[in-house]
């Protein structure tokens, strides 16, 4: 174990494992090479025929489009991107010994900590790759949306690294309640517009109907896509989750975790991540899932979503649009319907109506188990984590922590030495209003409405 800067002092076991910089992965792992079934084709929103690379070229650089459909198992990471990864990667794998003690569990709880990235979450892993490929193809401007602000911050940093202008549509309620996320983006030179806005037809149409609309991720996507579609080819669009190439870029998380666990001599019985669009979960899970698919390992994979936005546990596996206005291609995924409006819970990054097609497919095939929790129980778990492990987690990550704790308690009840691994996707330093609300007892566990779901599902496109 000499490669680790553990904390052994003769009294305690090592519990923090950091691989040397040379172990930053050289390739991304593409699970499409190992899928049990072929993914459903992506369809054009108007013709409803399978899209080809040219249909997507308006939105994305060709390198990302090719990664979207690639069947190569390992895709090389460009040196320029890997060099920037090395500013904070490999990220630590930590055994949560203090949390284990507090729970009095025989389980070993490990977490992969993405909190130390410059943007405070895993999202910079793909932002850098996407900015790089855009630059390579001569693109100088990228439009995008951001909900809670984490994706916008990550892309703002990546854009600055590769000298690309970043144009962010930020969901209005977050713009107003999270001014410092906006300041972060502006510090790195990004333009930030509250959405819905007067800058686009999509935004103006919403404001005409409801001038006080506080926005949604689906609307902000429509605005960003419209800016790109009307830019005369000058700007491209970038998405922080959901798509295959985004999940691909996040697989460095799981590869590093696998590398470190092999050196420790442990292997997870269960791998856990929170899911909004599915990228941090997939990033950690897919390199381990490869072992299930190709080497007969039996690890369980648990994807944790909010009970108020339960695309995996309540949404059908069906074709739907990625945005509210219906401008994006149609993808087959677990969805609540593209005009579903989730309750205003504090895990903003988990309030998306759909789910990554690759995660959806693997839930449908039984390789991934979904689970849903209300937000109060997640904050309770997050605070126990903060007060034992010291790091204050993002509200999104609290969902993964809740599930990890429940696994550890279940192992205790059954007297099992279970090895649990979860992704600590980000820190919560910009989310203190949410913690305030929890501590004051003002956090609502909003009821999920089956009528509202039935209504939004009625607008799903009918695909023959
Ligand atoms: C965006 C975000 C998520 C949810 O997005 P995924 O694509 O599902 O990972 C989770 N945690 C944090 C900290 C985030 O910023």
Report the alpha-carbon angle 457-463-464, nearest 5.
135
Which residues line ligand 1 at a C-beta cut-off of 6 Å?
A: 121, 123, 150, 241, 274-281, 349-350, 394, 396-397, 425-426
Closest approach atom of ligand 1 to CA 278: 8
pLDDT (tens digit, 9 = 90+) per residue, 358-407?
Answer: 999 999 999 999 999 999 999 999 999 999 999 999 999 999 999 999 99
The residue nearest atom 15 of ligand 1, judged by CA position, is 150
pLDDT of res. 100: 98
Peptide bond into 196 cis (omega under 30): yes
Residue 345 near residue 351, CB atoms below 8 Å: yes
- Domain 121-237 = CATH 3.30.505.10: no
Name the token pair of 463: 């695909």
Higher pLDDT, 345 or 386: 386
β-strand pairing of 108-113 with 141-146: unpaired
Nearest CA to ligand 1 atom 14: 349
Taking every pair of C-alpha atoms in the chain, what is the biggest distance, in angstroms? 68
User: What pLDDT is recorded for position 342?
Assistant: 82
What distance in angstroms lies between residue 276's CA and the mean position of ligand 1's atoms?
Answer: 6
Mutate to test the pocket of ligand 1, among 91, 277, 372, 385 (most ligand atoms within 8 A of CB): 277
Q: Pick the residue whose CA is nearest to atom 4 on ligand 1.
A: 276
CATH number of 86-120+243-457: 3.40.50.1100
CA of 43 to the centre of ligand 1 (A): 26
Predicted confidence (pLDDT) per residue in 405-450, tens digit: 999 999 999 999 999 999 999 999 999 999 999 999 999 998 788 9
Instruction: Name, in order, each residue with C-beta under 8 angstroms of 9's C-beta and a sequence gap of 6 or more.
Output: none
Q: How far is CA 100 from CA 111, 212, 417, in A?
A: 12, 47, 11
Dump pLDDT digits (tens) for 237-285: 999 999 999 999 999 999 999 999 999 999 999 999 999 999 999 999 9
What is the percent of the chain where pLDDT is above 70? 97
Q: What is the pLDDT of residue 12?
A: 57
Say what percent of the chain tops pLDDT 90.
87
What is the rounded average pLDDT for all residues in the chain? Answer: 94
121-237 has the same fold as 86-120+243-457:
yes
Q: What is the pTM of this model?
A: 0.96
| Best CA proximity match to 11, nearest among 109, 97, 91 | 97
Tens digit of pLDDT for each residue in 77-125? Answer: 999 999 999 999 999 999 999 999 999 999 999 999 999 999 999 999 9
Q: Is 48 left (phi over 0), alpha (psi -120 to 50) or beta?
A: left
Task: Give the residue from 254, 292, 278, 274 showing the smallest Cα distance to 333.
Answer: 278
Residues 435 and 124 sit within 8 Å (Cβ to Cβ) = no
**Domain spans, the chain:** 86-120+243-457, 121-237
**Under a CB-based contact definition with an 8 Å cutoff, are residues 89 and 252 in contact?**
yes
DSSP 199: T
Q: Which of 118, 149, 241, 427 for a ligand 1 pocket mutation test, highest count of atoms within 8 Å of Cβ?
A: 241
Instruction: Determine contact, residues 463/346, Cβ cutoff 8 Å.
Output: no
């Amino acid at each position: 174990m000499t490669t680790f800067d553990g904390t052994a002092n003769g009294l305690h076991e090592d519990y923090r494992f950091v691989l040397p910089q040379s172990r930053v992965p050289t390739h991304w792992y593409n699970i499409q090479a190992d899928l049990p079934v072929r993914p459903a084709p992506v369809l054009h929103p108007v013709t409803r025929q399978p899209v080809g690379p040219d249909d997507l070229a308006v939105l994305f650089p060709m390198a990302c489009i090719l990664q979207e459909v690639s069947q190569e198992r390992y895709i090389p990471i460009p040196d320029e991107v890997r060099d920037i990864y090395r500013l904070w990667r490999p990220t630590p794998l930590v055994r949560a010994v203090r949390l284990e003690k507090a729970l009095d569990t025989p389980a070993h709880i490990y977490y992969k900590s993405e909190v130390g990235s410059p943007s405070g979450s895993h999202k910079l892993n793909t932002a850098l790759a996407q900015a790089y490929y855009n630059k390579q193809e001569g693109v100088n401007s990228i439009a995008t949306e951001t909900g809670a602000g984490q994706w916008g911050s990550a892309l703002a940093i990546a854009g600055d690294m590769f000298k690309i202008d970043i144009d962010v549509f930020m969901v209005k309620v977050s713009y107003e309640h999270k001014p410092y996320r906006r300041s972060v983006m502006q510090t790195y030179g990004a333009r930030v517009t509250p959405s819905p806005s007067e800058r686009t037809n999509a935004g103006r149409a919403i404001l005409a109907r409801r001038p006080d609309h506080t926005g949604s991720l689906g609307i902000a996507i429509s605005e960003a896509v419209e800016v790109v579609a009307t830019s005369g080819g000058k700007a491209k669009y970038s998405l922080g989750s959901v798509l295959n190439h985004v999940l691909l870029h996040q697989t460095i998380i799981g590869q590093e975790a696998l590398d470190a666990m092999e050196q420790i001599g442990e292997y997870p019985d269960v791998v856990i991540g929170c899911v909004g669009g599915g990228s941090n979960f997939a990033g950690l899970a897919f390199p381990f899932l490869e072992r299930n698919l190709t080497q007969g390992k039996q690890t369980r994979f648990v994807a944790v979503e909010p009970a108020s936005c339960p695309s995996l546990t309540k949404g059908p596996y069906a074709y739907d649009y990625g945005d509210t206005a219906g401008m994006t291609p149609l993808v087959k995924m677990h969805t609540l319907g593209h005009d579903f409006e989730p309750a205003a819970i504090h895990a903003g990054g988990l309030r998306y109506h759909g789910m990554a097609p690759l995660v959806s497919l693997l839930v449908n095939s039984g390789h991934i188990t979904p689970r849903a929790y209300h937000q109060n129980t997640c904050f309770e778990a997050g605070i126990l984590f903060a007060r034992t492990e010291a790091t204050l987690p993002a509200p999104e990550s609290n969902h993964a922590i809740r599930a990890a704790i429940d696994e550890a308690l279940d192992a205790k009840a059954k007297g099992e030495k279970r090895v649990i691994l979860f992704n600590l996707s980000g820190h919560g330093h910009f989310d203190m209003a949410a913690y305030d609300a929890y501590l004051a007892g003002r956090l609502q566990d909003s009821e999920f409405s089956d009528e509202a779901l039935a209504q939004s599902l009625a607008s799903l496109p009918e695909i023959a």
